[in-house]
């Protein structure tokens, strides 16, 4: 093509085929690859967030693990970071974390399963479409609000039934958290149930199964990996939830699985330490990151299991 | 029971049908009662907050006063101004980054291990507890980069927190755009970037917008990562105004300013022993809920309208 004056728009020459000038094409290709590059950088940024998290957790806690042996860290049952004779048994915090998350799951599994089964197998389309936005609103309430509610409304309410319940306890936050993650667990398991091909259901009906039997014997087994994923991801949320426990479960490290007692979870401990102004090189400051590593590993494990389980049911159907 | 059916006469069959109907009714009943319990919790939260915070909610000073040691004079002025400024920073960072990553993963990424890795990474980031982001900010932004406990740091950490939400929403919105549209654009001679910029993105805009609003609504209510960077302090002044009377008319000093935000102000008041402060906490909670519910409401409405258009 002969060199023509570079035009930003292809010249409209009536009669002859329209041709874009070389300069225009070159510039377009340049912009195109530039845009592709920038978009790739944006996608790669998410990887750097993960790398950043891992880097910070490791570097900020190396000083900690130089002073506290891993064995003590994992087996001691005292957590007294600011005492003269500081002890760092992370199981103290883990026990509370597990207790609260366990209560949340005990609420969320049966309720979430029933709700998902109802929405996927029983409810008509309009009912489902009306209900889901409300569930999303439940999920949209800030957790600090749930914390207020748990401390000042729900715990006093529970105390009228359970006389020995402390003002700060693990039961109230556990139950509230169970309902809080309900929209999530229910909607992920409902997705899994709805992904079951209707042919399987029809086969069940053709055998004379009732709806309940189809749900229990056909849909739930077929959607099992997805439903499991829902609760594993729910567990991960409960473990990482912060404000409800920081406000209502107390901030006293306490090696206990008794739900009527108050105890600091990993997240509550991090909040408590962050509120005080800790010197950067103190072991108490570094202990925050050591606790953070434990939290990160627990949730990462759950998230990865959940991710692959969900991917599996998506591949099967 | 199976043996029954094969041998039985008709009356038995009717009984089985009846029994099945009953189980169905019971199951539906259980489902609906779970729903009712969940909804009553939501109602209880809302009513408890409104009743608890009413005396402060109806007082205009509450919205215009600085925080104070005296519960009756304390207000949420710094908190709501801080929330707006932090959200602005968050949106400016999270939207371009999140939409860009979403577009890349849907339109550009080749099916290889790098893409796989980025995908697993995004879905894992969505599950990382918010407080871990707080530790990232504390270790990297504050002690590493020396950004300090400022609006910029808070906006940045909340942006990273909601990045996965925006990426996932963008991808879903783009996936919903029919292939025909792209083919038509290519047929007209557009290249990939032109197709994406001029046809795919505008068509996906409502879906992206919905996801972005949901993400920002989540960021507004997040306290944990911002507490971790040490923002739980007594702030009795406003950040410098972004607008000024002399050229260049805007300044960015406010980015460097200490701040507080609504959820932190509320947390601060909840954790005090005096009951008077709990009234303030409830009132702040109502305002915070209004903010997030309004945003979620807009998002739900947008999606509802979008669905009707598609049908």
What is the per-residue pLDDT across B256-289, written as a single tens digit (0 to 9) for each? 788 889 999 999 899 888 888 999 999 999 999 9
Specify the DSSP element, H or E, that contains A178. helix A171-180
The Cα of A292 is separated from the nearest Cα of chain B by a number of Å equal to 7
Interchain pair A243, B20: CB under 8 A: no
Identity of the highest mean pLDDT range in A142-151, B113-122, B268-277, B296-305: A142-151
Interchain pair A211, B35: CB under 8 A: no
C-alpha pair distances (Å), B260 with each of B140, B250, B278:
21, 22, 18
Interchain pair B230, A277: CB under 8 A: yes
Interchain pair A183, B27: CB under 8 A: no
Q: Please report residues of B whose CB lies closer than 8 A to that of A50.
A: 121, 124-125
pLDDT at A296: 95
Q: What are phi and psi of B280, to 5 degrees?
A: -60, -40
3-state secondary structure of A9: coil
Per-10-residue mean pLDDT of chain A, 317 residues long, equals: 46 58 87 91 92 93 87 83 80 92 94 91 85 83 93 92 88 94 90 90 88 89 90 91 90 86 91 80 87 94 88 70
Q: Please report residues of A whose CB lies closer than 8 A to that of B27.
A: 114, 117-118, 122, 211-212, 215
Q: Are B74 and B88 in contact (CB under 8 A)?
A: no
Interchain pair B221, A179: CB under 8 A: no
- By CA distance, what is A310's nearest residue in B? B123
Q: Please report residues of B whose CB lies closer than 8 A to that of A277.
A: 230
Q: How many residues does chain B have?
A: 311
Percent of chain B with pLDDT over 90: 40
Interchain pair A136, B28: CB under 8 A: no
Neighbouring-strand partners of residue B250? B243
- Is a pLDDT exceeding 80 seen at residue B5? no
Q: What whole-number distance in Å separates Cα of residue B78 and Cα of residue B234?
A: 10
More confident residue, A277 or B300: B300
Interchain pair B34, A115: CB under 8 A: yes
pLDDT at A4: 45
Q: How does DSSP classify residue B256?
A: G
Helix, strand, coil shares, percent, chain B, to 5:
75, 0, 25
* Mean pLDDT of all residues in B1-30: 74
Q: Please report residues of A whose CB lies closer than 8 A to that of B175.
A: none
**CATH (one of 1.10.540.10, 1.10.3720.10, 1.10.940.10, 1.20.140.10) for A91-316:** 1.10.3720.10
Using the structure block, give the residue that is written with the tokens 């779970």: B34
Q: Please report, for chain B, the start and end positions of each structural domain, with discontinuous segments joined by +.
A: 2-55, 61-310
The Cα of B247 is separated from the nearest Cα of chain A by a number of Å equal to 33
- Is a pLDDT exceeding 80 seen at residue B52? yes
Residue A122 tokens, joined: 């029983």
The Cα of B271 is separated from the nearest Cα of chain A by a number of Å equal to 7
pLDDT at A3: 45
Which candidate from A138, A242, A277 shows the least CB-CB separation from B129?
A: A242
Which candidate from B48, B128, B197 shows the least CB-CB separation from A149?
A: B48
Interchain pair B20, A210: CB under 8 A: yes
**Per mean pLDDT, which range of A234-248, B65-79, B135-149, B235-249 is the poorest?**
B235-249
- pLDDT, tens digit, 9 for 90 and up, residues A207-261: 888 888 898 889 999 998 889 989 998 999 999 999 999 999 888 888 888 888 8
In order, the DSSP letters of A234-279 are HHHHHHH--HHHHHHS-S-------TTS----HHHHHHHHHHS---
Q: How does DSSP classify residue B285?
A: H
The Cα of A270 is separated from the nearest Cα of chain B by a number of Å equal to 7
pLDDT at A250: 84
The ipTM is 0.87
- By CA distance, what is A304's nearest residue in B? B124
Q: Tell me which CATH code domain B61-310 carries.
A: 1.10.3720.10
Which candidate from B136, B282, B300 shows the least CB-CB separation from A136?
A: B300
The Cα of B241 is separated from the nearest Cα of chain A by a number of Å equal to 28
* Mean pLDDT of all residues in B232-253: 71
pLDDT at A317: 64
The overall average pLDDT reported for chain B is: 86
pLDDT at B95: 95
Q: pLDDT-derived band of residue B245, with 50, 70 and 90 as boundaries?
A: low
Q: Please report, for chain A, the start and end positions of each structural domain, with discontinuous segments joined by +.
A: 22-67, 91-316
- Is a pLDDT exceeding 70 seen at residue B118? yes
Q: pLDDT-derived band of residue B298, with 50, 70 and 90 as boundaries?
A: confident
Interchain pair B100, A38: CB under 8 A: yes
Residue B182 tokens, joined: 């792209």
**Per mean pLDDT, which range of A109-123, A228-242, B182-196, B220-234 is the poorest?**
B220-234
pLDDT at A2: 45
pLDDT at A315: 64
pLDDT at A97: 94
């Amino acid at each position: 093509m002969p060199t023509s004056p570079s035009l930003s728009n292809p010249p409209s020459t009536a009669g002859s085929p329209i041709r874009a000038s070389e300069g225009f094409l070159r510039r377009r290709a340049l912009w195109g690859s530039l845009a592709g590059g920038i978009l790739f950088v944006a996608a790669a940024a998410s990887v750097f967030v993960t790398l950043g998290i891992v880097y910070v957790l490791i570097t900020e806690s190396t000083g900690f693990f130089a002073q506290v042996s891993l064995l003590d860290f994992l087996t001691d049952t005292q957590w007294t970071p600011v005492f003269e004779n500081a002890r760092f048994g992370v199981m103290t915090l883990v026990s509370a974390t597990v207790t609260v998350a366990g209560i949340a799951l005990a609420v969320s599994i049966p309720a979430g399963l029933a709700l998902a089964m109802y929405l996927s197998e029983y409810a008509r389309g309009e009912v489902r479409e009306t209900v889901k936005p409300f569930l999303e609103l439940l999920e949209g309430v800030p957790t600090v609000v749930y914390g207020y509610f748990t401390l000042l409304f729900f715990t006093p309410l529970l105390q009228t039934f359970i006389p020995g319940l402390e003002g700060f306890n693990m039961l109230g936050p556990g139950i509230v958290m169970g309902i809080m993650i309900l929209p999530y667990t229910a909607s992920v398991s409902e997705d899994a149930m709805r992904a079951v091909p209707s042919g399987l259901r029809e086969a069940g009906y053709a055998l004379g199964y009732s709806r309940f039997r189809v749900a229990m014997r056909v849909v739930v087994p077929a959607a099992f990996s997805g439903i499991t994923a829902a609760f594993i991801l729910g567990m991960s949320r409960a473990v990482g939830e912060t404000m409800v426990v920081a406000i209502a479960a107390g901030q006293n490290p306490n090696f206990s699985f008794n739900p009527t007692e108050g105890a600091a979870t990993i997240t509550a401990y991090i909040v408590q330490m962050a509120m005080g102004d800790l010197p950067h090189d103190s072991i108490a400051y570094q202990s925050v990151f050591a606790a953070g590593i434990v939290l990160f590993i627990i949730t990462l494990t759950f998230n990865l299991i959940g991710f692959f389980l969900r991917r599996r049911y998506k591949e099967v159907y | 029971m199976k043996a029954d059916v094969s041998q039985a006469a008709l009356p038995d069959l009717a009984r089985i049908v009846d029994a099945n109907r009953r189980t169905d009714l019971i199951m539906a009943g259980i489902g609906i009662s779970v729903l009712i319990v969940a909804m009553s919790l939501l109602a209880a939260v809302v009513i408890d907050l409104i009743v608890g915070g009413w005396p402060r909610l109806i007082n205009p000073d509450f919205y215009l006063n600085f925080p104070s040691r005296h519960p009756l004079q304390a207000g949420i002025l710094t908190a709501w101004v801080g929330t707006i400024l932090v959200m602005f920073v968050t949106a400016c960072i999270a939207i371009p980054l999140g939409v860009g990553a979403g577009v890349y993963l849907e339109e550009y990424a080749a099916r290889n291990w790098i893409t796989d890795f980025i995908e697993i990474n995004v879905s894992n980031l969505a599950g990382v507890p918010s407080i871990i982001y707080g530790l990232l900010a504390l270790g990297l932004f504050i002690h590493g980069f020396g950004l300090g406990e400022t609006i910029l740091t808070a906006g940045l950490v909340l942006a990273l927190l909601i990045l996965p939400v925006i990426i996932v929403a963008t991808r879903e919105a783009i996936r919903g755009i029919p292939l025909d549209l792209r083919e038509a654009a290519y047929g007209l001679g557009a290249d990939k970037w032109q197709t994406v910029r001029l046809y795919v993105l505008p068509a996906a805009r409502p879906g992206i917008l919905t996801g972005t609003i949901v993400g920002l609504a989540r960021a507004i209510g997040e306290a944990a990562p911002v507490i971790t960077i040490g923002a739980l302090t007594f702030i009795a002044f406003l950040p410098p105004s972004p607008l000024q009377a002399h050229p260049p008319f805007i300044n960015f000093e406010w980015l460097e300013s200490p701040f507080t935000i609504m959820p932190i102000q509320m947390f601060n008041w909840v954790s005090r022993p005096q009951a008077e402060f709990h009234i303030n906490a409830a009132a702040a909670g109502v305002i915070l809920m209004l903010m997030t519910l309004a945003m979620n409401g807009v998002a739900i409405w947008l999606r509802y309208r979008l669905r009707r258009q598609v049908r």
